[in-house]
Amino acid sequence: MADIFHSFGSDLAPSPTGDIAIATDAILGQQRVLRRLLTNPGDYIWQPDFGAGLAQFIGQPAEISRIRATVRSQIFKEAAVARSPEPIIDVSFDHAGTVYVHIRYADTATGQTQLLSFSAGTS
């Protein structure tokens, strides 16, 4: 299945032919996982329960285990994330308080390892 290529927080991307770029397979899965993790619950009016809202942790005391648990519970709501092998989720903070999340999971369709890394802002 294909969808419009859209990285969270960015504009739509053009394809090499000038059309709107399309995301498929592993890239589509990564985009959907990232969108779910960074979207606040209630932001999508048609799906009020959609999203992990990782931004809620900005400005709060560092609770790595709580962030990891939130990520884990949400990524399994995406069909692209295989339950086995268990995803590896690393959460860290830098000296300025930026939250970094690194996820390694198996793609359900191919079984190949996918890596997804992003920052959730500063605290």
Tell me the pLDDT tens digit for each residue of 13-59.
Answer: 766 777 665 555 667 788 888 889 988 999 989 999 999 988 887 77
Cα gap 67→78, rounded to integer Å: 18
Write down the architecture of domain 2-122 according to CATH.
Roll (3.10)
DSSP state of 100: E
Tell me which of 54 and 120 has the higher pLDDT. 54
Residue 122's identity, in one-letter code, is T
Tell me if the pTM is above 0.85.
no
Q: What percent of the chain has pLDDT over 70?
A: 80
Mean pLDDT score of the chain:
82
Q: What is the largest CA-CA distance in the chain?
A: 47
Tell me the pLDDT tens digit for each residue of 58-97.
Answer: 777 778 899 999 999 999 999 999 999 999 999 988 877 7
Domain map (residue ranges) of the chain: 2-122
DSSP state of 87: P
Residue 112 has pLDDT above 60, yes or no: yes
What would the two tokens of residue 52 be?
């992990």
